[in-house]
Chain A
């Protein structure tokens, strides 16, 4: 028979525990596996937020980035959310998407105060990311914040992101807000299309 008795795994002391040491030190190890191990261990330590974020800024291995982000989501504090928000401006698409996904998985009450101010950032791309993110957060201020974007943001693409976010929220109270956009950009065919789509969605057509 080619099946051999597997060596016993359950109950054995994990290698890391046997070695001891500080996971904060492992974060700088040359071996990506060791850095992931550090991130796993630090996901229970709110005091590790600065170190995790510092590593995230420098990290080039995608698998380590993912583990660092997961650790920050597990910590889930306001400090962790605040540390992630600047990465929304990252040129690294993978990191930026990872950050958006991570912020979505953190408590909305913690994330919203950190993300809402970005709705008025100077960079319109950043405002688009913020609108997308706000739309995903189950928070009582969501509708008002996105309504503010639709009523005041000068860039039509930011407004359309807010429309999309409101449509995804499925809240029929969003329709009158969305319809106001036609008044601001009456000749824009994309606005006309989006408003019509929202009417169809919320009327159940």
Chain B
């Protein structure tokens, strides 16, 4: 998941309303919007207010706060996130996964035991499918273990697209042609769909990683990919997320962050591990 950076004059929200909105979104979703994103937030909020026929900002904020179904908050969140990604993005971490990290994860485990990998903030699914293809193609012990892949996002619309698994050329630019032929079916001139077996192998779920109650469902993960997501959180949001990822991981499990992110600046809970392909962060044994 990622957020845009468009700028411009703000039209609707007063400074106090903007602050109230940002505070609310930060508390509920972990997403942190600065003054630089004001135009972007303003436009999305105005759109949603018009859609539900609410005239005053405070009224709309109350709707978000107190609507029992949470439907409007979900619709707003869907509008507040932009999801630009592609297959095999930041490939060096996938290299690290199959060249070193997984071998360490399964050391001492009996053949046939489970390995759990979670793509947190999976957007339209390119990351979890890239992980799946990389494992199948390049991890030489892939047949020795039962691998469970989890993928989650806070945006219900992108999650639905991830489950459909239909992609256009832009997403597939780094996909070798032989793998495209092997794992995808061409639908028309512009789109391909990933094979049913891979789509069925991943558990996609709607998850807000800022919510401790939802995060309690994730336990025993061996590797978590959380790339280019926490950069949109503030310091406290990152620290809180790191703490919950810690609980989600098995001892000695790894977390992979984006190339510009450093766990050392978020939390002291993890140990940085330098592998030939990448730096990962490891939950200590005890």
Show the binding face of A for B, using Cβ within 8 Å. 1-12, 14-17, 33, 36-37, 40-41, 43, 62-63, 66-67, 70, 73-74, 94, 98, 105
Contacts and interface: CB of A to CB of B under 8 A. Distances in A.
A112 B227 CA distance: 35
Interface string B128-160: 000010011000001111111110100000000
Interface residues of B, number: 43
B82 interface: no
B218 interface: yes
Contacts of B201: 1, 3-6
Determine chain A's interface SS by DSSP, over half rule: helix
B213 to A, nearest CB: 5
A55 B137 CA distance: 49
B146 A2 contact: yes
Contacts of A67: 243
Given A6-B203, A9-B218, A36 B142 contact: no
B87 interface: no
B32 interface: no
A9 B136 contact: no
Please provide the 6 A-B residue pairs with the shortest distance between their CB atoms, ordered closest to farther.
A10-B205, A14-B216, A6-B203, A6-B148, A3-B201, A40-B212
Scoring A12, A16, A43, A63 by chain B CB atoms within 10 A of each residue's CB, the highest score goes to A63
A105 B143 CA distance: 46
Contacts of A41: 212
Interface string B204-231: 1111000011111110000000000000
Interface of B: 114, 116, 132, 135-136, 142-150, 152, 197-198, 200-207, 212-218, 235-236, 239-240, 243-244, 246-247, 267-269
A6 B136 contact: no
B236 A2 contact: no
Given A1-B201, A36-B243, A73-B239, A66 B147 contact: no
A22 to B, nearest CB: 15
A3 B144 CA distance: 11
Contacts, number: 100
A14 B213 contact: yes
Contacts of A17: 213, 216
B267 A66 contact: yes
A43 B144 CA distance: 42
A6 B205 CA distance: 11
Contact of A2 (B143, B214, B216): B143
Contact of B217 (A9, A37, A43, A66): A9
Contacts of A4: 114, 146-148, 201
Contacts of A11: 205
A1 B136 CA distance: 8
A67 to B, nearest CB: 5
A6 B216 contact: no
A73 B247 contact: no
Contacts of A94: 268
Given A2-B147, A62-B268, A70 B142 contact: no
A9 B150 contact: yes
B269 A3 contact: no
A43 B135 contact: no
Given A2-B147, A4-B146, A98-B268, A74 B246 contact: no
Nearest to A15: B216
A3 B136 contact: yes
Given A2-B136, A40-B212, 5 more contacts: A2-B145, A6-B150, A17-B216, A40-B244, A74-B240
Contacts of B206: 10
A12 B203 CA distance: 13
Contacts of A37: 216, 247
Contacts of B268: 62, 66, 94, 98
A2 B204 CA distance: 18
